[in-house]
Structure 1
């Protein structure tokens, strides 16, 4: 597994490109690799994977591996060499440095980053992130910005970004109309409806004036009539287009796991897969 990730990337995207696959799904906790695509592409991928297995076997030939449960990487299951171990602060699970860097660089776009050990959903703490950031030369400011964006996306009912493009100021959402003046760009925003502040008018009056309800109905009719496979995230309302793959979809904004069939959403991928199997008979 480790050799595959080092050769084709942590999410094996290079393997997808080289073989012409539709996608590759790697369950890092259960160490299950699912390859999907045309028969010829799948066969090419299998041959490439087999070559890696054989080459890895030759490298290991003659080496005597001592059994160990404490120095085994939770991702690649390889014995961790001296000086190359990293233990997560919260749960203490061990990674080899290559795997912890691979996971960090890949999962950085879908915060929070969680432990890859099977059955462990412990989140990486700030010390883990800053430690690995130093190793991978990722500026901590960039990580803080991504963490903040992820937090806001998952908590849209409580926090929003200033409506001015490229302004990173965050304000707290209110139930009724309330004025927020951005300290950076000086925009006047209503924290109730997130539009330009409407002095003397309620949010409901503004909504009716803009015929928002009619617009929403027209938009839904458009989605139903168009050929694109587009739905709204049931958690944050972000539009999602499903092109291929199984019926478990992850929202790019709030990272919730969604059943594409009935739009129920779940905190973990495993919960979503179980729902698909139990309620719909298949993950496809």
Structure 2
């Protein structure tokens, strides 16, 4: 059956690298005969590594190609168990309804699955789970989780109101001490405290009026002995009739998510984008009127004013979203005001590079640089670059995303290395 040693090696390797459970009878007898020949002739043949490991999740054999292409991960226990990476990713995605955070999924999976041999928990390490998903996939799963939670809260509130709309449930508001009907005037926060809706709205309005930079994490339940942070769903429902306030809160919520993501993964290519567009709004009806691109561009260049009727006013768009920066120049059309602009902190479309556009703006509009610096933006001090940067959080050492020089956000001191800038900042107290 085997005419020479090479044919013998090929036959054995073919069998040993397959799934033993799927061997047919002919292949099995070939394997037995090959081993008998080896015993009789005492031949030395080169057998590739025999695959005998099963994927811990799907219980299929791990073949040599999986090993060579690094498509498997070793589990974090002492039993020498492995699993396919695709199987682990599928297992993670099956838990998407619980994807509050990657840390939560790590805990859920290790709670559900323990090593069958040694009984140890946390066999799927956090680093292994983190490698299974990209930053973008994690962000999408977290966003979908909180959106689903938001919709669930709204549905539960509507169901509660529907079931009890004909009942009068009296309660005393913990702020104004009025005896009111919970169905018509009251609201129960997720912490369980009850207030009238007017008092809750006034409480949140007061916090924002006294602190324009108020973070969502700083909005607490008004009850003295509670002080639990109000979640975004509670705040949105209380202020549901105030569209402008809801937009501001959504913007703050996105910024908060972005800062959390950057803290967990500083090397992420995700950037925070704020639309520089504007739109008209009718004072009585609140109807939005889109401003043509050419009118807004001329107004930015100081060439013409945007025409307004008596019942119209101009509003800044400020739509905030997270975008992956994968190109040096990437144009975007805002879904809210329909304005088109460059995602590299440029306030309009442009044909040349972002650096050329910024230099042109500075040369043709004396107030342009002062206005943006007053809003917290900085221009790269490299005269051949001039790209705009906005510091959302962190220290005052900035690295330009275009030319890669480092500089101080306070005084524009620049250097080729970050250490030089850090030394300067320590000396100057920046």
Higher relative contact order (CA 8 A, sep 6+): 1
More helix by share: 2
Give the TM bin, normalised by the shorter chain.
0.3 to 0.5
Q: What's the TM-score once normalised by structure 2's chain length?
A: 0.25
